[in-house]
Amino acid sequence: MTVGGMVSDADIGDLPDAITAVRRWADRRPSAEALIWVADPEEQRDERLTFAELDLRARAVAAWLQQRMPVGSRVLLLNSPVRFVVGFLGCLYAGMVAVPAPLPGRYQHEQRRVRTIASDAQVSAVLTETAQLGVVREFAANGPLAAVEVLATDSIPDSDATAWRLPGVNRNSLALLQYTSGSTGDPKGVMVTHGNLLHNSASLLKGLQIPASIRFGGWAPQYHDMGLMAQVLPALFGGSTCVLMDPTTFLKRPVAWLRMIDRYDIGWSPAPNFAYDYCVERTTDEQMRGLDLSRWRYAANGSEPVRVETMRKFAETFAEAGFSATACCPCYGLAEATVFVSGAPPRALSVTRFDAAELVEHRARPAHGAAAARELPSNGAATTYDLRIVDPATRDVLEPGQIGEIWLRGPSVAEGYWRQPGATAAVFGAVTSQGDGAYLRTGDLGTVHDGELYVTGRLKEVVIMRGRNLYPQDVEHELRSQHKELGAVGAVFSLPASDGAADDVLVAVHEVRNPRDQAGLARLAADMRRTLSQEFGVGASGVILVRRGGVRRTTSGKTERTAMAELVRSGQLAAEFVDVDPRYQDVVSVRTASDAPSRRPERV
């Protein structure tokens, strides 16, 4: 079917299972390139796999699994960040449930997390690649994986593929458990079915009007929902090519990502917001020469809050390399809805200036005149979902223009959390006050304005002071814009007051450029208090200034406000300067850096 010169991909959503979605291309275009792994984009040093080769390898892995365990068994994938595909397809082809996880690094908490995932999912085998086999064997030797077989998928002979048998799976069969970030002790495995994968890829391709000829690619790790489900699978299900690069290559030299997009003709490449800032910050004029980004149609920005300034700055900087501002593509999504929820086809960046005072009152009204405003990007329309904006306390469905929690229903919404009936009922089984359900509670706050979705913050992170909603991102942004002495990252959050008072206690932690100037820091802290009071009408119980790197972020650059709150509460944060309201000394217990032990660098 052809719509407006583009092949419609609606048919993906109607296929019987994800195996068929890939195998049909091995059948129709066996010699077309399915995957390209790029080591060096400049010299075009890479490794390629056609659909026929990929299908053969997946069948060989699947046959190995089928000989050892019943259909539906869980299989842990421990690969380097962009090497998951063969093992993942092997699981699908065998009717097993893939459990992608990051390679356990050297930090204890990373290793603990992977072990917790392995025992929660009750895995029957571990798949990896030869290059990581030693590390994975050593890791698996103790704990829940001690009795489990480990296989390097690239070591199986292709001839084993003949033993593969099509498993009895359908759209309702589980395809993977996507473990959400959660806390180390309590990871939750989102149960994603074959039907979810098919519907979500079809939604992405159709909703954003992605031409069938477009190539996908990027460096997003495939143990994250974005790297696998918003990058690899739409390419493979749609019969296109996915071009991959290790995230370390990107972090070392972000221009390597941009060169890959140019040299390999990639039209769709997704990344979290920080990656776009990082490119602007780290790309030299010399590197810019000869770079052609004019064929990059979709610079998808997702998986963390999208900043208007970031997208504008990126478009402005790389206009010189032919980048079109219409390629800036803010998307909303989450693992509990497979990955993709909403976005818009290429167009000028759609931004609304909302009245800041109204936002505080849970209303989204465009700002007029000189009123203080907050610019938010539109995330397009969620065309393949029933979307409701709901008051999280009363569960009343709210009118357009009001702000509430984003609730979703539709074929991309996953089945629930693996072996967690309580959490599943609470998150996936929400019912409105009018008795309408079941919806997925996203935990994100937002509004629908002119038919499009705007995300205003995370429900859990919103600071409620005297019944008003304060968004930490807003407060941090305002502090930075008024105080040039502040560094790039801050974390604003609330702590419960110890005496059981109704109101929480507001704390602002922020990085500073010049941590040595104690007199200057004291003045700065006092000025920040004044800003909080003038702009937001709140008094801070604590203003804490830290060195660069002192505010925790995830590897994808998200500020970890909850973790920072915990550090402050437990007295573990090392600060350069601390200004605490004497009334709250017991709640905000923070040391200055001189007493702190030195810290090793955080690993990615």
Partner 1 sequence: MPNRMHVAPNLSAELLTPWILAQAASLLQLEPERLRADRPLSDFGLDSVRGIALIGDLEELIGRDLDPDLLWDHPAVNDLVAVLTGAHNGEAAGG
Q: Which residues bind partner 1 (CB under 8 A)?
A: 106, 248, 251-253, 274, 278, 280-286, 288, 317, 487, 511, 513-514, 516, 547-550, 553, 555, 557, 598-604
- Nearer of residues 190 and 245 to partner 1, judged by Cβ: 245
Residue 293, both tokens: 């980004």
CB 42, min distance to partner 1, A? 12
CB 329, min distance to partner 1, A? 23
Using alpha carbons, list the distances in angstroms from residue 118 to 89, 122, 431, 499, 603.
19, 6, 32, 41, 22
How many residues belong to the chain? Answer: 604
- Our measurement of the distance from residue 463's CA atom to the centroid of its chain's CA atoms, rounded to an integer in Å, reads 23
CB 597, min distance to partner 1, A? 10
| Long-range contacts from 245-248, C-beta under 8 angstroms, 24+ separation | 245/37, 245/38, 245/41, 245/82, 245/217, 245/218, 245/219, 246/80, 246/81, 246/82, 246/219, 247/81, 247/82, 247/219, 247/220, 247/221, 247/604, 248/604
Do 578 and 544 meet the contact criterion of CB atoms below 8 Å apart? yes
- Nearer of residues 282 and 466 to partner 1, judged by Cβ: 282
CB 556, min distance to partner 1, A? 10
- Nearer of residues 146 and 519 to partner 1, judged by Cβ: 519
CB 307, min distance to partner 1, A? 17
- Nearer of residues 38 and 242 to partner 1, judged by Cβ: 38
Strand ranges of the sheet holding 123-128, from the earlier edge strand across to the other edge: 149-152, 123-128, 74-79, 97-102, 174-179, 189-193
CB 296, min distance to partner 1, A? 19
- Our measurement of the distance from residue 286's CA atom to the centroid of its chain's CA atoms, rounded to an integer in Å, reads 31
CB 277, min distance to partner 1, A? 11
Query: Which amino acid is located at 451 in the chain?
Result: G
CB 127, min distance to partner 1, A? 24
- One-character DSSP codes across 165-188: ------TTSEEEEEE-S--TT---
- Nearer of residues 548 and 591 to partner 1, judged by Cβ: 548
Beta carbons within 8 Å of 126's beta carbon, 6+ residues apart: 75, 76, 77, 78, 118, 136, 140, 145, 148, 149, 150, 151
Do 486 and 525 meet the contact criterion of CB atoms below 8 Å apart? no
Distance CA 201, CA 175 (A): 14
CB 298, min distance to partner 1, A? 24
Distance CA 495, CA 485 (A): 26
CB 317, min distance to partner 1, A? 8
- Nearer of residues 253 and 460 to partner 1, judged by Cβ: 253
- Nearer of residues 368 and 600 to partner 1, judged by Cβ: 600
Do 217 and 244 meet the contact criterion of CB atoms below 8 Å apart? yes
- Nearer of residues 71 and 288 to partner 1, judged by Cβ: 288
Question: Would you call 442 helix, strand, or coil by DSSP?
Answer: strand
CB 284, min distance to partner 1, A? 5
- Nearer of residues 309 and 375 to partner 1, judged by Cβ: 309
Peptide bond into 596 cis (omega under 30): no
- Please report which residue ranges of 95-189 form alpha helices under DSSP H: 108-121, 133-140
- Nearer of residues 282 and 523 to partner 1, judged by Cβ: 282
Do 501 and 539 meet the contact criterion of CB atoms below 8 Å apart? no
- Nearer of residues 269 and 556 to partner 1, judged by Cβ: 556
